[in-house]
Amino acid sequence: MGRNERLWLSLGQASRTLGVTPNTLRRWADRGQIPSFTTPGGHRRFPLLAVQALVPAARARRPSLATTPANIARAYRKARPLVETHQRAGWLALLSENERTSFRERGTQLVGDLLTHLDAENGDLSLAERHASEYGAEAARLGASLTDTVEGFLRFRKPFVDELAVIARRRHLDTREATALLVDAEAALDRLLVALMTGHSQG
């Protein structure tokens, strides 16, 4: 291979270096996000230096999420606006304002536990599981059925994961870091749901 040839990468070589699919790399080139040229034979070539500049720098750990349970709660309310008290249905309508406040505080604590776990990257989840179990037991004590309790958890789950994706972009996590964050979050949420259900059955 001549010196000039070493300065350019094929579509396959460049996509493997960047850890993206060839189709993704083609789209980047078409949008002008990475320089390329097409050979007379119709093959794309990418400057080695331009490809190397896009390779994420190795980091000792994922950047901090730099968010709080209050920020997550605001995102949740934006995704699912709170209804007025007179519109609340089922077991929630039977709770006093103090009981609702206590229940919300337990939920906020659980979100904080989960954020701490994710910021620690595979940190201990046992405290969050204990709080999830207590949350489930409290829901049972207040008259929520298991179905009610699980539905409440699932209504929270999607906005939480969606907000994590927004945070990942805001914190400039690379593709691998963002994917790992969401995989960690889903695994943690699965464990908390099991703990919640266990707590409810023992409540």
Helix H segments across 95-174? 97-119, 126-141, 146-170
The residue-averaged pLDDT of 192-196 equals: 95
Please report the pLDDT score of residue 191 as a whole number: 94
Per-residue confidence at 196, pLDDT binned at 50, 70, 90?
very high
* Rounded-to-integer distance, Cα 5 and Cα 195, Å: 58
What's the pTM value of the predicted model, to 2 decimals? Answer: 0.64
Question: Percent of the chain beyond pLDDT 90?
Answer: 23
Distance separating alpha carbons of residues 67 and 166, to the nearest angstrom:
11
Domain boundaries of the chain, sorted by first residue: 3-54, 69-202
Say if residue 44's pLDDT is above 90.
yes
* pLDDT reading at 189 higher than 80: yes
Topology (CATH level 3) of domain 3-54: Multidrug-efflux Transporter Regulator; Chain: A; Domain 2 (1.10.1660)
